[in-house]
Amino acid sequence: MEKEVNQNAVTHDQGIGTVQIADDVIAVIVGIAATEVEGIAALGDNITNELMNKVGIKNISKGVKVNIVENKIDVEVSLTVGYGYNIPATCAKVQEKIKNTVENMTGLKVTGVNVRITGVDMQKD
């Protein structure tokens, strides 16, 4: 199964045709995986989240950057963590969750998951 990378999509040659995975799809996968980790309040920063929520827009890939080079994926994600959570431990869980989820769903190798904490959510559940 040969894979080649286009600028905005990853192409898998299945022998009887091809399957293309757009960068945006990978970004959505990353966003969903990150927010499934306990302690992660939101993607992006607090200001962006507040503005997006006020206008009723929910974008699961905001705060996610995906870079694909030679069938390898490098991810950068900005997150807001919940107050009281251990940031390094929570980020380690996020990195592992993103890596496993993207590799399982796309068949591509994730070479790096860089997490940037841009805020702390002070709201109590």
The full set of domains in the chain, from first to last, is 23-121 (3.30.70.1350)
Q: In whole angstroms, what is the distance from residue 40 CA to residue 89 CA? A: 11
Q: In whole angstroms, what is the distance from residue 72 CA to residue 111 CA? A: 6
Name the residue with higher pLDDT: 101 or 48: 101
In the predicted structure, residue 40 carries a pLDDT above the cut 80: yes
In the predicted structure, residue 3 carries a pLDDT above the cut 50: no
Structure tokens at 13: 């040659």
Q: With pLDDT > 70 as the criterion, what percentage of the chain qualifies? A: 74
Instruction: Classify the phi-psi angles of 8: left when phi > 0, otherwise alpha if psi is within -120 to 50, otherwise beta.
Output: alpha
pLDDT tens profile 27-38: 999 999 999 999
